[in-house]
Amino acid sequence: MVSALLPDSPAARAGVVVGDVLTRINGEQPRDVIRYQLLVDEAVVSLEIDRGGLDRSVEINKNEGEPLGIEVQSSVFDQVRTCDNHCSFCFIYQLPEGMRKSLYLKDDDFRLSFLYGNFTTLTRFTEADLERVLSEGLSPLYVSIHSTDPELRSEMLRNRRGGTSLRWLRALLDHGVEVHGQVVVCPGVNDGAALEDTLVGVADEYPELASLAVVPLGVSDHSNEAEMRPHTVAEAAAVIDCVEDWQERFAATVGHRLVFAADEYYLLADRPFPEPDCYEGFPMHEDGIGMARTFELEFSGLAEQATGVQSGFFASVDGAPAEGYRAPRTDGAVHTDGAVAVALAPSRTAPVGIVTSEYGARILEPLVAHLDRDDVRLVVVDNQFFGGNIAVTGLLVGEDIARVLQDEPEGHRYLLPDVCLSSGVFLDGTRVDDLPRSVEIVPTDGIALRAALDGRRSMGTR
């Protein structure tokens, strides 16, 4: 379905309107926005349209490769390939009841991996999928590895295909597909000697990996898996030591560090973050690898632009809807001109409270202290909604933020990072308008935060 249309675009000039359903393009019924993009790149595009039950045909003549000007309703037109694993560490199983239905959907779809950087285990990958990846150049892809030991991987995924599905990883690498991997480390399961074995397996079997992120298990209060527990400080330190040791080995053998530990490990172990150069361009920034260092560079004026979402095919897909991590953070209730509720907006010279999480505060505290300003403070929100060891800013919800802001003074400026919003909605379904204090929505990067603190325009005011 056409959800938006660019004015004066080829599609608009041809008479396509919002609400039209594209049933066929050049005689083909595309399965997803990837195939859609390839079809509409042609100079002549024939559309078969269902408009309110009436069939229409539209032929569009344009330059080859010129955008059609259509934004479609979904990235997958047939059906999202759902995950048939039953991982005990899956965070979806740890969500409380009553949230939006879409949050409980587990996908294991290589198309969403390509479009949005979602991780796939490859347990539902097929020969036909491989052929499509290769013929259409679907690269990079993101693969959850967790262990290179077949028996342990099957056990972790609770899927007998877990032990054999990494053959597809080998096939992808053999054909030159760029692949980024991930290992979610579960204490007592795939850490320690098992993690060492996994990195040995990567070195032996998958050295062509572009990067490998080692991230800690997140455990909410809603987990029903007794064996799943947070890392201890000593365990976090051991993971860092293991990763940094293997970085040296990979650098010597494949020419780059390849494996990286998540920022959370350095926070857990109370160790300084690696220097920026150690992250080799921050290829896994979205997976929590090097976010602290990039934020520091941005905040300190040492970065010309924010790292943000990594560029990729998504940026070139004509009309692909933003989803997941790439979904727009705000909606019509928050305006970039700050014109909403101006009469209620605090003075630009009012004291400032930066709303953040427990981990966010650990990163922000030294940066704010360096400003030497007594009018700026951190408003730290503990995550009671999820509980457990969930302490990242991206999982803050409106209920917890409201609870903390309720006790904050009126008339102050409160800066809220946009990373905890999706189209203006928190994970718990509440909205910015539900908060008890006026807030300014600020993009979650150091450049935007510094600009807001310096009194320059931020994303908007509620």
Name the DSSP letter for residue 191. Answer: S
d(CA 142, CA 200): 20
The CATH architecture assigned to 91-320 reads: Alpha-Beta Barrel (3.20)
H-type helices in 335-445, by residue range?
358-371, 398-405
Torsion of CA 295, 299, 304, 306, to 10 degrees: 40
Question: Which residues contact residue 440 at a Cβ distance below 8 angstroms, ignoring those fewer than 6 apart?
Answer: 338, 413, 414, 415, 416, 452, 458, 459, 460, 461, 462
Identify the weakest region by mean pLDDT among 11-15, 114-118, 206-210. Answer: 114-118
Task: Grade residue 199 by pLDDT with cuts at 50, 70 and 90.
Answer: very high
Give CA–CA dist 438/422, Å, rounded: 18
> Which amino acid type is present at position 136?
E
Candidates 3.40.50.720, 2.40.30.260, 2.30.42.60, 3.20.20.10; CATH matching 2-72:
2.30.42.60
Quick one: 150 exposed, middle or buried, by C-beta within 10 A (0-12, 13-18, 19+)?
A: middle
Nearest Cα residue to 67 out of 15, 145, 6: 6
* pLDDT, tens digit (0-9, with 9 covering 90-100), for 145-177: 999 999 999 999 999 999 999 999 999 999 999
Q: How many angstroms separate the Cα of 419 from the Cα of each of 313, 358, 381, 416?
A: 22, 15, 14, 9
For residues 142 and 120, the answer to whether their CB atoms sit within 8 Å is yes
**391-441 per-position pLDDT tens digit:** 999 999 999 999 999 999 999 999 999 999 988 899 999 999 999 999 999
Q: Looking at the predicted structure, is the pLDDT value of residue 239 above 60? A: yes
pLDDT at 341 over 50: no
The string of pLDDT tens digits covering residues 7-58 is 999 999 999 999 999 999 999 999 999 999 999 999 999 999 999 999 999 9
Per-residue model confidence (pLDDT) at position 116: 87
Contact 139, 114 (CB under 8 A): yes
Do the Cβ atoms of 208 and 240 come closer than 8 Å?
no
3-state secondary structure of 105: coil
Token pair recorded at residue 436: 């008890």
The DSSP element (H or E) to which 216 belongs, if any, is: strand 211-216
Q: Residue 24: count other Cβ atoms within 10 Å of its Cβ.
A: 15
Mean pLDDT rounded to a whole number for the chain = 91
**Per-residue tokens: 371:** 């400003």
Domain boundaries, the chain: 2-72, 91-320, 328-461
pTM: 0.91
Is the preceding omega at residue 140 within 30 degrees of 0, hence cis? yes
pLDDT at 308: 65
- Is the CB of residue 1 less than 8 Å from the CB of residue 50? no
pLDDT at 310 over 90: no
Confirm if 351 and 373 have CB atoms less than 8 A apart: no
**Where does the pLDDT of residue 319 fall: very low under 50, low under 70, confident under 90, or very high at 90 and above?**
low
In sequence order, which residues have a C-beta less than 8 Å from that of residue 245 and are 6 or more positions away?
A: none
Residue 441: in which H helix or E strand, if any?
strand 440-442
Partner residues linked to 371 by β-bridges: none
Residue 94 structure tokens = 């740890």
d(CA 76, CA 65): 21
Q: Please check the confidence at residue 461 and state whether its pLDDT lies above 90.
A: no
Mean pLDDT of 214-231: 95
